Chain A
Amino acid sequence: DAGVIQSPRHEVTEMGQEVTLRCKPISGHDYLFWYRQTMMRGLELLIYFNNNVPIDDSGMPEDRFSAKMPNASFSTLKIQPSEPRDSAVYFCASSKDRGRQNSWNEQFFGPGTRLTVL
């Protein structure tokens, strides 16, 4: 089975441009997560969805960031307008469910999108 698919793998854009990152989770997984990884801040959870509904977006850094999940097989993370400090690797992950209370199940990560904002 295919794992989590992300596109593009690399994105180079100029400050002020709109950037859209895409993710296809593993079929049958109910949860979808967006993370950002930088050297300074490590791996940070931005937002996650359960059954296409956003559950917690407290990690989204600013209003410039938005995420949608129109159906169970597709999600986007959009940055508008982009800034150089948004440069990072963005990961999408999915999991089957939350598991028993407060014991989160294994998250399966995509290969990431390396974003560079000039």
Chain B
Amino acid sequence: TQLLEQSPQFLSIQEGENLTVYCNSSSVFSSLQWYRQEPGEGPVLLVTVVTGGEVKKLKRLTFQFGDARKDSSLHITAAQPGDTGLYLCAGPTNTGNQFYFGTGTSLTVIP
């Protein structure tokens, strides 16, 4: 059982469509990060959210941290082929020294 469950696991959409990726846990996280990983490379940080209810925008990407700090979402507006990749949420729980990555969402944007 993974501590951070992401949905959907796979997503294939047409260029220009909108999409939302979800990251859920039964545990409270002190902060959450979103990374994007491209084939053959390591993950690269997109954003960190720290406060419950926080919303951050990065161009066409909108990140939200749940009020209870147990969940987060990533919304992409007008997806482009360059958005293709594996999206990973990640963070430390409130109680431990461990850092967890989510199960991942593989996004393909078709031109």
Contacts and interface: CB of A to CB of B under 8 A. Distances in A.
A107 B103 contact: no
A56 interface: yes
Interface in A68-118: 91, 93, 101-104, 106-107, 109-112
A8 interface: no
A47 to B, nearest CB: 11
Interface string B76-105: 000000000000101110100111111110
A59 interface: yes
B40 A111 contact: yes
Q: How large is the interface on A (under 10, 10 to 19, 20 to 34, 35 or more residues)?
A: 20 to 34
A56 B99 CA distance: 10
Contacts of A44: 101
> Which of B41, B99, B101, B102 has the largest count of A CB atoms less than 10 A from its CB?
B99
Contacts of A33: 99
B43 A104 contact: no
A104 B44 contact: no
B30 interface: yes
Given A93-B42, A111-B40, A102 B98 contact: no
B7 interface: no
B50 A91 contact: no
B24 interface: no
B42 A109 contact: yes
Contacts of A101: 30
> Which of B40, B42, B99, B103 has the largest count of A CB atoms less than 10 A from its CB?
B42
Nearest to B104: A42
A95 to B, nearest CB: 10
Interface of B: 2, 30-31, 33, 40-45, 48, 50, 88, 90-92, 94, 97-104
Interface of A: 4, 33, 35, 42-45, 48, 55-56, 58-59, 91, 93, 101-104, 106-107, 109-112
